[in-house]
Structure 1
């Protein structure tokens, strides 16, 4: 199976969530059903409850069904039934991403993702893929900062088949020199085609972490240096699989149309006797406080227009400032009504778009577990200087700092966040992604039902504090692409 680049996978996931969101439209924010009678939620039902601890008007909020437990071997299991459509999504997340791959094996986590499609004890090469596709399903996998994931969406009556298949490759991967050599070539070709020989290849999703961060784990080339990819050997692969692809380092999420007790029986039957492993502790990922703005220029022989990206170090996850940054992202960068889109695109015409966000291009603000950047980028006209763009960025941030964040502006940001959040939850994969991330990183998938409340706790004072500390110029890295292509 040819796996797309990490960047394109992120786009594919967004598209998949949108497609599934249409299929499951009756679960969306606008059509959430009201629970009647004794207000007891049944499978596939969204419960409404009143929000009374905010200055915003009381509004209905989602209550996603969550059943969470662990097998004796340490495997985390999250079940979230939804009878809206006769489909089921299985997502298996392993708590290993490219952030913590071996220092002399850059790109190894991504390489190993490819190996997981090369066959297992009972399914030969390509048979896993064929099994899903011939049963009317779709599948994919990706490698991110802090996890590697695999998912399948299938007709509901094929749920047991997919659970068996995922357990089969967790139990025993077909690790051979032939498969390793083949996938080394595939990944190296990805790097060449999609990064090295592509205009703006790796900009800014692969480039910016390497410029903005200081800790190697956050700052290395996670797509992989070609020499490191060549250096990977069969023993590396076997050790990596035995260590990180174990049940006590994973979560299985099932979302969709299924019976809870039946799913539990299948998960116990197929995953219950897989052996756990001794997983090493996560290394120190901390980043030092940035005290001075950093600026870098990257020559691009294939680009014909300049580009600029900016990044600010994020607050620690799950703090008030973290949620405040999520709302500042909505105000400054998300949507055509955002301050930066209006200032850079609509008013000045510097570019056709400005993109970015928290964990931009590789996920969202919830599915990571370490230091992170709030990042934006644009490809702009040659007549526009980098300093002009940075000046506009400073002006928009300074206006918020000087004028303050009104309750009205804060309320609008919460509405936008709520819309974005529940758009993600409306799709099977989007919901599974949140549940898996909260189970892996927080041991608490119920957080999916607490997010809106956390955003509603944020006050204008917290927003102002966050602006002052995290959107200061000395916390910023600017990367400029210098075009070298001859037109």
Structure 2
């Protein structure tokens, strides 16, 4: 899910210095922004982030649990996503789907999602309904209505979702679901996280109860409140509703590391519903928060983001092989809201008249000349693009992108203030660091290529 935003809340400042007499010297500093962040923890371990924004009479409540499909139980693929559905089936004081009705009847919207390293739930409501939403989220954190009827119902819903979105869809799962299974070697990063139908059927009440008691505890969660609210009043509500929820013993995280990829991998996926070939290329990412990680963020901007990106210029404008190149770091979010190993990836469809070899040859032209073309001017342009995207991501949908980053940085780094230092981290990256990153992470031996073979096109051709 890509989030797009408008950035109303920034505290922008510019400094104008004027000298004495007739000599006037102007010095304009780059506009800076600072997101207000107040961070603390309840006695039960719940991480709380408050970020005030008076620009709209709305408030967001976002609860992020430190459990995604990456570390769901083996032989229970898709279980983290199945459990996300269970969270709407009733709690101690709200019956089946009453949570949804409560939000909507109070003029709000809500949603939830399962990602690599977290499962999240959020509500956007008129600010005077903030207390109600805090109570409702605490109510289902405190206890779910776990019944066989609810489980069986949601197993059917999720299985149907898999069939509609993946199994019966042209390019279903390509490449967001497929590529991690091909490019990674560690099961935790390489399994079908949407869920094998047999595994979804095998889930039982004991699994659901154990999962809830283990991972849906306050000491495994972050609560972000963003928007128009009074800080002291909101703190009192959070303590009142969440403060006495018992913590749990969180098991140690399994080893989710990936070995260094030493040779190029190539795979073909037959797709009976596709009418054009498609190709995706993925590279293992550098370690999160390292200089190379931020360099890859800039290389993503240089290579695939926007019409002026190098791959778009080559494949779309110059060669005419495709109408669009899409890609990025973390297809299920952004480069900041994940914790474990990740892929940088891009994909495109192309006509049958164009060969796979022509596509790869054009890509190699770009990649071969990349290192020599990197200079400070190119980096500065990439920083402008990523800065613009960051402003969009943080500022819109009434602050939902801000809540996402604050919660992610609280969960993964115990430091939501990181939101205010991201731009500075990119500015530290030099051409030397970028070239080093190209050498280590954009080498062919760190590359996985997945091609879609369009069987529908073949069938149409033979008829």
Task: Give the TM-score, by structure 1 length.
Answer: 0.90
Given that residues 59 and 124 in structure 2 are in contact (C-alpha distance below 8 angstroms), is that contact kept between their aligned partners in structure 1?
yes
* CA positional deviation for 1:139: 0.4
Given that residues 290 and 474 in structure 1 are in contact (C-alpha distance below 8 angstroms), is that contact kept between their aligned partners in structure 2?
yes
CA distance in structure 1 between the partners assigned to 2:220 and 2:268 by the alignment: 39
* CA positional deviation for 1:152: 0.5
CA distance in structure 2 between the partners assigned to 1:57 and 1:103 by the alignment: 56
* CA positional deviation for 1:465: 0.4
Query: What does residue 297 of structure 1 align with?
Result: 268
The match for 1:227 among 190, 198, 203 is 198
* CA positional deviation for 1:80: 0.2
Give the direction of change, closer, same or farther, for the CA distance of 1:70–1:47 in structure 2 (3 Å limit). farther
Find the residue that maps to 1:388 and give its secondary structure. helix
Query: What does residue 472 of structure 1 align with?
Result: 443
Query: What does residue 20 of structure 2 align with?
Result: none
Alignment partner of 1:365 is 2:330: no
The match for 1:339 among 310, 314, 318 is 310
Given that residues 108 and 125 in structure 2 are in contact (C-alpha distance below 8 angstroms), is that contact kept between their aligned partners in structure 1?
yes
Query: What does residue 365 of structure 2 align with?
Result: 395
* CA positional deviation for 1:47: 5.3
The match for 1:48 among 13, 34, 38 is 13
* CA positional deviation for 1:57: 7.6
Cα deviations by residue, 1:363-395 (Å, 9 ceiling, x for unpaired): 000000010000000111111112221222221
The structure with the largest alpha-carbon Rg is 2
CA distance in structure 2 between the partners assigned to 1:47 and 1:443 by the alignment: 26
Stretches of structure 2 lacking an aligned partner (at least 5 in a row):
16-26
CA distance in structure 2 between the partners assigned to 1:384 and 1:317 by the alignment: 37
CA distance in structure 2 between the partners assigned to 1:368 and 1:83 by the alignment: 29
CA distance in structure 2 between the partners assigned to 1:390 and 1:285 by the alignment: 31
Query: What does residue 377 of structure 1 align with?
Result: 347
Given that residues 211 and 219 in structure 1 are in contact (C-alpha distance below 8 angstroms), is that contact kept between their aligned partners in structure 2?
yes
* CA positional deviation for 1:400: 1.5
* CA positional deviation for 1:48: 3.4
The match for 2:8 among 23, 26, 49 is 26
CA distance in structure 2 between the partners assigned to 1:309 and 1:26 by the alignment: 36
Given that residues 88 and 159 in structure 1 are in contact (C-alpha distance below 8 angstroms), is that contact kept between their aligned partners in structure 2?
yes
Alignment partner of 1:151 is 2:122: yes
Given that residues 404 and 464 in structure 1 are in contact (C-alpha distance below 8 angstroms), is that contact kept between their aligned partners in structure 2?
no
CA distance in structure 2 between the partners assigned to 1:263 and 1:423 by the alignment: 27
Alignment partner of 1:421 is 2:421: no
Find the residue that maps to 1:255 and give its secondary structure. strand
CA distance in structure 2 between the partners assigned to 1:320 and 1:99 by the alignment: 25
Cα deviations by residue, 1:412-460 (Å, 9 ceiling, x for unpaired): 0000010000111112110000000000000000000010000000000
**Bigger shift: residues 73-82 or 392-401:** 392-401
Query: What does residue 91 of structure 2 align with?
Result: 120
* CA positional deviation for 1:397: 1.6
Given that residues 404 and 460 in structure 1 are in contact (C-alpha distance below 8 angstroms), is that contact kept between their aligned partners in structure 2?
no
Query: What does residue 86 of structure 1 align with?
Result: 57
- Paired residues for 1:242-261 under 5 Å: 242-261=213-232
Find the residue that maps to 2:113 and give its secondary structure. strand
Find the residue that maps to 2:8 and give its secondary structure. helix
Find the residue that maps to 1:425 and give its secondary structure. helix
* CA positional deviation for 1:193: 1.1
Alignment partner of 1:276 is 2:247: yes
Task: Give the TM-score, by structure 2 length.
Answer: 0.94
CA distance in structure 2 between the partners assigned to 1:386 and 1:368 by the alignment: 32
Given that residues 14 and 28 in structure 2 are in contact (C-alpha distance below 8 angstroms), is that contact kept between their aligned partners in structure 1?
no
Stretches of structure 1 lacking an aligned partner (at least 5 in a row):
1-9, 33-45, 51-55
Cα deviations by residue, 1:301-357 (Å, 9 ceiling, x for unpaired): 000100000000000000000000000000001011111111111111111111110
* CA positional deviation for 1:49: 7.2
CA distance in structure 1 between the partners assigned to 2:350 and 2:132 by the alignment: 49
Alignment partner of 1:286 is 2:268: no
Structure 1 residue ranges (4+ consecutive) displaced by more than 4 angstroms after TM superposition: none
Query: What does residue 327 of structure 1 align with?
Result: 298
- Paired residues for 1:310-325 under 5 Å: 310-325=281-296
CA distance in structure 1 between the partners assigned to 2:97 and 2:82 by the alignment: 17
Find the residue that maps to 1:88 and give its secondary structure. strand
Given that residues 48 and 63 in structure 1 are in contact (C-alpha distance below 8 angstroms), is that contact kept between their aligned partners in structure 2?
no
Given that residues 97 and 143 in structure 1 are in contact (C-alpha distance below 8 angstroms), is that contact kept between their aligned partners in structure 2?
yes
Find the residue that maps to 1:26 and give its secondary structure. coil
The alignment covers a number of residue pairs equal to 445
What is the Cα-based RMSD across aligned positions, in Å?
A: 1.3
* CA positional deviation for 1:183: 0.1
Cα deviations by residue, 1:129-170 (Å, 9 ceiling, x for unpaired): 011111111100000000000001001111001000000000
Alignment partner of 1:356 is 2:356: no
